[in-house]
Amino acid sequence: MLRLWAALRANQTLMWACFVIAVNQLGFGIVVPVTPIYARGFGVSEVAVGLVVAVYGLGRFLFNVPAGQAADRFGRRPVIFVGTVVTAVGSILCGLAPDFNQLLAYRFIGGIGAAIVITGVQTVVADIATRENRGRMMATYQGFFIFAVGVGPGVGGTIAVLAGPRAPFFVFAALAALAGALALWRLPETRGVALAAANAAGSAVPRGVTARLLLTNVGFMTLSIVTFVQFFNRTGAIFSVVPIDAVERLGLDTATIGLALTVSSLCNIALVGWTGSIADRLGRKITIVPGCVIGGVSLFGFAFAPGYAMFLGSAVLWGICGALIASSAAYAADLAPPGATGLTMGVYRMLADLGYVVGPVLLGLIAEVAGANGSLLVAGALSILTAIPFALLAPETGGRRAAVPPARV
C-alpha cells in the first residue's frame, strides 16, 4: 500500500488518472451485484441475465479500437470526457428501463461509454510510463480500477436494499459525471508525450501496420488469450454466476455479497504496489502466470463453498489474482509501436472485452445445463490452462530478462 501512495505522490498525472478511473469504476461497481438481480426481476432466464452483462461488454468490444484511434487523433482528455457523458446517459436510461429489451439497449450504450473512458485513461498511463516503471504504474492504475469496482458492490447492495434495484444506476450516472469533470479540469493532456516519443523513435507506425504487428506477435496474442479468459471469468463468473448462486444456493443478500467483493478489492489494492515492483524488477510473466493459477483456485472455491466463510476466502484469492495479473496491461504497452499507444491499448482491450461479451452468455448457459458449480469449474480450469501457452511462448518484456519486443523491431 505504501508503494502505491509513493507512486501517486511522485506523478500528478498518474494520480489524476487513477482518481478519474476510480470514480468512474466505483459507479460501475455499484451496479455489479444489482444488475443480474435487476434483470432477473423482468422474469427472464439465467442465459438472458448473462446477456445483460454481455451486451455491456459488446459495447466495449466494438468501441475500444475507435476510442484508441480517437485518443491518438484528438487527444486523451476530450475523449475521456465524451466517454463519461455517454456512460452517464446510459446509466440513467438503465435505471428508467420499463422492460428487458430496453434494458439491453441501454446497457449497450453504457458499454460504449466504458470503452471510451477506460481506453482513454489507460492510454494516459501508458503515455507517461517507461519500460523501467511501467509495471508499477499500470499496477497502480489497475489497483485503483479494481479497488473501485470491488468497493462499489458493497455500496450498491446497500443502496438496492434501501432504495430498490434501480437506484444504483442513478448513482452510477452521477459518479460518471463527476469523473468527466475531473478529467476535463484536472487531468493533463498527454498526447504530446506520445508524439514526442514517436518523433524520437524516428516516425509513427501506420495504423494498419500497427494492427498487423500486434496480431502476429506471439507475446501479444498469448497475453490476449490470458486477458480474454480473465474478462470471461470476471463478467461471466464473478459478475453473473457467483451472485445468483450466492443468493439461490447460499441464501446471501446483495449487501453480504457486495461485502465479499469489497474485501477482494482491499486485498487487491494492498498488493498491487508490490506486484508492480516485482514485474518491473523480475519481469511481467513472473506475476501474470501465478495470477492465472490463483484465479482458477478462487473459482473452484466459489464452486464448492458450503457457506460464507469459504465464499469470502475465495473472494480474497480473487483479489490476489487481480493484483498479480495487473501487469498484463504493462506487457501490452511494452509492445506498442511508436506513436500508436492509443491504438495498441484499444486493440488489447478489444480482444480482452471479447471475453466480457462471451463469458456471461456461455457460463450462464453452462450453469443452466450443469448447474452453477459446473459453470465455475469450467471457468477455473480455463484460467489455469491459458497460463500455459503464455508461460511457454511469450517473450519477457520487462525486468532483467526482457527481450526486444517484436512490435518495436
For the chain, 409 residues long, give each residue's pLDDT as a single digit of tens.
555 556 566 688 899 999 999 999 999 989 987 888 899 888 888 778 878 878 898 899 899 989 988 998 899 999 999 999 999 999 999 999 999 999 999 999 999 999 999 999 999 998 888 877 888 888 888 888 888 887 887 788 889 989 999 999 999 999 999 999 999 999 998 887 766 665 555 555 566 677 788 888 999 999 999 999 999 999 889 988 998 899 889 988 877 887 888 888 889 888 988 898 899 899 999 999 999 999 999 999 999 999 999 999 999 999 999 999 988 988 998 888 877 778 888 888 888 889 888 888 899 889 989 999 999 999 999 999 999 999 999 999 887 776 644 444 3
pLDDT for residue 91: 97
Of residues 261, 237, 247, 263, the one with CA closest to residue 373: 237
Residue type, 272: V
Residue 106 CA to residue 336 CA, distance in Å, equals 33
| Coil vs helix vs strand at 236 | helix
Residue 348 CA to residue 343 CA, distance in Å, equals 9
Centre a 10 Å sphere on the Cβ of residue 132 and count the other Cβ atoms it contains. Answer: 11
pLDDT for residue 321: 96
Residue pair 110/87 in contact (Cβ under 8 Å)? The answer is yes
Of residues 122, 20, 187, 140, the one with CA closest to residue 342: 122
Burial of 233 (0-12, 13-18, 19+ CB in 10 A): buried
DSSP string of 277-330, one letter each residue: HHHHHH-SHHHHHHHHHHHHHHHHHHHH--SHHHHHHHHHHHHHHHHHHTTHHH
Q: What nine digits make up the cell of 118?
A: 477506460
Please state the three-class secondary structure of 150-206 as a single string.
Answer: HHHHHHHHHHHHHHCCCHHHHHHHHHHHHHHHHHHHCCCCCHHHHHHHHHHHCCCCC
Look up cell 493532456; give the residue.
189
pLDDT for residue 8: 61
What range defines the domain where residue 208 resides? Answer: 2-408
pLDDT for residue 41: 87
pLDDT for residue 161: 87
Residue pair 64/115 in contact (Cβ under 8 Å)? The answer is yes
Domain of residue 378, CATH code: 1.20.1250.20
Residue 93 CA to residue 97 CA, distance in Å, equals 6
Q: How far is CA 32 from CA 49, 72, 140, 154, 208, in A?
A: 12, 31, 22, 10, 36
pLDDT for residue 305: 94
Global pTM value:
0.79
- Overall number of domains in the chain: 1
pLDDT for residue 140: 86
DSSP string of 66-130, one letter each residue: HHHHHHHHH-HHHHHHHHHHHHHHHHHHHHH--SHHHHHHHHHHHHHHHHHHHHHHHHHHHHH--
